[in-house]
Amino acid sequence: MTLIDSPRFNRLSGIVLAYYVLASVFALLLGIVQPATGIPVVIIQLTQFGPMLAVLVVLWLLPGSRGLVRQAGLQSSKAGIAQLGEAVLIVVAIFVVALAWYGLSGHMIDFTNPFDLAHPIWIIVIAQFIGAAGEEIGWRCFLQPALQTRMGVLLSSVVVGLLWGVWHVGVFAEGWLYASSFILFAVCLSVILGELLRGKRLKLPTATTFHALINLAMLLWFKEEGGDAYAMATMAVATLIAAVCALIVHSVRTGRGTRKSNNTFPELR
């Protein structure tokens, strides 16, 4: 019996499909409701809570998924300072590369002073972290570890990134260059997060911090939300470079660990 024919694989496929459909439906409904709430999208987009709601419904409707979640390691734990610091440094590196390219290519950097925004920056920051957590409960705390019970980290990250990118269905209205750049951007971010979270039980604090900082930096430095394909392509290439670097670092660390284990002498008894 092949992996695809196995009952466990079919169960996982059903859980993933149910989650993705529900996350999309909830996002659509929340997007329709948002104008009536009066909450500006620059503060928070209610669609970000679609993945979180989808996880709750899947756990309720499909009791079998609870064991899968426990196996995947959804249980919360405290974030390590070093891991959070690494996430922040990667975000800084991505934007240094993107802004450097803008400067070298002669494109004007359209920086927005955070105190010139229509709403207080502290409210936006808090809301961005809350919204990022709403998404990451679904993508990195549920879907990613669930897929990792049947796939490797890299393949799981790519699959999650593709699904995550397409889930932002509005990007397709901006043309093929913008949409393809955004999907590459999402896949690369997913690969970076997959490496950051590899082998670790904490997921939500690091994933939320990384996601929120990316959103905030793009809000202040780029106008890609207005359909600027060049800005989106620049961010995609910068995150691609960061993702490749993250994979190289993992490869080097793995190689060192293997050599260390091979060179260990037995204890004297």
- Whether residue 2 lies inside any domain: the answer is no
Length of the chain: 269
Distances (CA, A) of 101 to 85, 98, 122, 187, 227: 25, 5, 29, 21, 19
At 38, give phi and psi (nearest 5°). Answer: 80, 5
Chain centre to alpha carbon of residue 1: 34
Q: For 164-191, what is the mean pLDDT?
A: 95
Calculate the average pLDDT of the chain.
85
- Whether residue 85 lies inside any domain: the answer is yes
Q: Which of 23-37, 48-62, 111-125 has the lowest mean pLDDT?
A: 111-125
- Composition of the chain by helix, strand, coil, percent to 5: 75, 0, 25
8 A C-beta contact, residue 193 and residue 91: no
Q: For 1-22, what is the mean pLDDT?
A: 74
What angle in degrees, to the nearest 10, is found between the helix axes of 81-104 and 229-262?
140
In this prediction, residue 75 carries a pLDDT of: 46
The C-alpha atoms of residue 209 and residue 219 are separated, in whole angstroms, by: 15
- The fraction of the chain above a pLDDT of 90, given in percent, is 58
> Does the pLDDT of residue 8 top 80, yes or no?
no
pLDDT in tens, 180-210: 999 999 999 999 999 999 877 668 889 999 9
Chain centre to alpha carbon of residue 116: 28
What is the pLDDT confidence band of residue 3, given thresholds at 50, 70 and 90?
very low
The residue segments making up the domain with residue 227 are: 7-262
Q: What residues contact 209, with CB distance under 8 A and at least 6 apart?
A: 79, 84, 87, 88, 129, 132
- Whether residue 269 lies inside any domain: the answer is no
- Whether residue 110 lies inside any domain: the answer is yes
- Whether residue 75 lies inside any domain: the answer is yes
Q: Which of 46-60, 194-208, 230-244 has the lowest mean pLDDT?
A: 194-208
- Which residue has better confidence, 228 or 26? 26
Number of structural domains (the chain) is 1
Q: Which of 64-78, 208-222, 223-237 has the lowest mean pLDDT?
A: 64-78
The C-alpha atoms of residue 265 and residue 269 are separated, in whole angstroms, by: 12
State which H helix or E strand residue 218 sits in.
helix 204-221
- Whether residue 268 lies inside any domain: the answer is no
The C-alpha atoms of residue 147 and residue 140 are separated, in whole angstroms, by: 10
Strands, E assignment, the chain: none
- Whether residue 60 lies inside any domain: the answer is yes
What is the pLDDT confidence band of residue 9, given thresholds at 50, 70 and 90?
low
- Whether residue 183 lies inside any domain: the answer is yes
Question: pTM of this prediction?
Answer: 0.87
